[in-house]
Amino acid sequence: MNIGILISGRGSNMVAIIEAVQSGEIPASEVTVVISDKISAGGIEKAKERGVETLVIERKGRTREEHDAEIVAALRERDVELVCLAGYMRLLSPLFVKAFPDRIVNIHPSLLPAYPGLHVHERVIAAGETRSGCTVHFVNEDLDAGPVILQREVPVLPNDTPESLAARILEQEHHIYVEAIKRIVTMQVITPR
């Protein structure tokens, strides 16, 4: 399966996916392109170092649809079959979602449907939660919505800061994102209708 990854930042989930593909843990697949909407994304260099083609496609004052159309065209040119959002900080337009029906996945650092959106760990700690976690889900037109593929629970400890909780969850994100993609590639996930 040809995989395309979209990032906006550091790209640690992206690295986990590329390494799992290159080691064969995710079988019969290739990461054909990494696309960032930010020139400053640290993940771009990490993808290059691992021999993956990178593109920077910034929005540059265009409409969301124009920006998304350029990304969709780049993905199609490379025959991408599965799009993985990995810290991609934009909501996809309907045009994008329709271009890859049931073929876009995302990772989010909470136990969705709880705590969609930004500043998740701050909100989880402020609410006094004792458990949080991460979720891999199919992407639809709503923010952090769409059918759940895999989740993993992580404890919130009494002295946690947003940073310490984020780090504990991120470690699990890397595991479940790889596992979810493996299941999709090996057809162990029924795509939602």
Judged by beta carbon, residue 116 or residue 147, the one nearer ligand GRF is 116
> Which residue in the block uniquely carries the two structure tokens 């271009």?
99
Q: Please answer whether residues 20 and 179 qualify as being in contact, where contact means their C-beta atoms are separated by less than 8 angstroms.
A: no
The span from the CA of 48 to the CA of 117, in Å, is 29
Residue 175 annotated in active site:
no
Burial of 44 (0-12, 13-18, 19+ CB in 10 A): buried
Sheet with 54-56: list strands edge to edge: 54-56, 30-36, 2-7, 82-85, 104-108, 131-138, 148-155
Q: 8 or 69, CB closer to ligand GRF?
A: 8
Give residue 110's identity as a one-letter amino acid code: S
Binding mask 53-92 for ligand GRF (x = CB under 6 A): ---------------------------------xx-----
Our CB check for ligand GRF shows the closer of 4 and 87 to be: 87
For 69, list phi and psi in degrees, rounded to 5. Answer: -60, -40
Exactly one of 38, 108, 121, 137 binds ligand GRF (CB under 6 A); which one? Answer: 108
Exactly one of 11, 31, 35, 176 binds ligand GRF (CB under 6 A); that residue is 11
Catalytic residue among 67, 108, 121, 137: 108
133: left (phi over 0), alpha (psi -120 to 50) or beta: left
Among 12, 29, 32, 140, binds ligand GRF (CB under 6 A): 12
The one among 44, 107, 136, 149 contacting ligand GRF by CB under 6 A: 107
Q: Cβ of residue 143: shortest distance to ligand GRF, in angstroms? A: 11
Residues that bind ligand GRF (CB under 6 A): 9-14, 86-87, 107-109, 170, 173
Active-site annotation, residues: 108
